[in-house]
Amino acid sequence: MLIPLETLAIFIPTALALNMTPGNDMLFCLGQGIKSGPMAGNAASFGIATGALIHTMLAGLGLAALVAAHPVALDVLRWAGIAYLVWLAIGAFRSTDQRLKPAQTKRSGAFTAWRDGIVVNLLNPKIIVFVLAFIPQFVDASRGSVLLQFLIFGLILNIGGTIINCLVGSFAGKIGQVLSRSAKIARAFQIATGCIFLGLAAKLAFDRK
């Protein structure tokens, strides 16, 4: 089997938890939903998904080529990814911004929201860095195509993110009120995000020993 069920049992809930933590993409969908309505919010979500698929494809092709030329590169990238996850966790714990505000967006139709979503995602370098830090932790070169494994994991991550972002875009008004007014909820999201990153980094580090 290309990807063991036990690996999926770890990856899927972790990916879903990460998708639920607010980031630039989610706040962009929230801003579109508030300004232009649910249709634009959903279109923005699919734009984000389109950009994420492009990121994933490029990252997967690059990783596959790198591993083919230098097999040890996957292990190096795994440990670099673990370090990056720890750094993200520390950043989440230390964050002093306790408000999650919708991104500033202009009123737009569905197509424009979709197009802008692609641009927002593609121009966010943190996305590709995160993809390269997170997904390779679960790739096993001994089980077959590195590219195919990478794309499968990326697709799972992207599907979960799209569902969450569509819900945010559809119910933007109510969600926006909660996120923008409650500093406690915002802080809880930050702490939860930090715990997820730190716990995942620790597990992966010990599992690789």
pTM for this prediction: 0.82
Confidence band (pLDDT; 50, 70, 90) for 209?
Answer: very low
Over residues 95-110, mean pLDDT: 70
- 169 touches 41 (CB < 8 A): yes
pLDDT in tens, 47-93: 999 999 998 998 889 888 888 888 888 888 888 888 888 888 888 78
| Choice between 142 and 105, residue whose per-residue pLDDT is larger | 142
Q: Which amino acid is present at 35?
A: K
Residue 26 has pLDDT above 90, yes or no: no
Is residue 184 situated within a structural domain? yes
Q: What are phi and psi of 24, to 5 degrees?
A: -60, -40
Domain boundaries, position 18: 5-94+110-207
Is residue 101 situated within a structural domain? no
Q: Which two tokens stand for residue 164?
A: 């969450």
Q: How many CB atoms lie within 10 A of CB 54?
A: 14
How many domains does the chain fold into?
1
What pLDDT does 1 receive?
A: 75
What pLDDT does 181 receive?
A: 63
Write the CA distances from 39 to 30, 46, 57, 165, 174, integer angstroms. Answer: 12, 11, 27, 12, 16
DSSP states of 45-105: HHHHHHHHHHHHHHHHHHHHHHHHH-TTHHHHHHHHHHHHHHHHHHHHHH------PPPP-
Is residue 165 situated within a structural domain? yes
Over residues 153-180, mean pLDDT: 85
Is residue 77 situated within a structural domain? yes
Range among 17-31, 92-106, 156-170 with highest mean pLDDT value: 156-170
Is residue 100 situated within a structural domain? no
DSSP E strands in the chain: the ranges are none
Is residue 104 situated within a structural domain? no
Is residue 86 situated within a structural domain? yes
Rounded distance, CA 79 to CA 208, Å? Answer: 9
Is residue 46 situated within a structural domain? yes
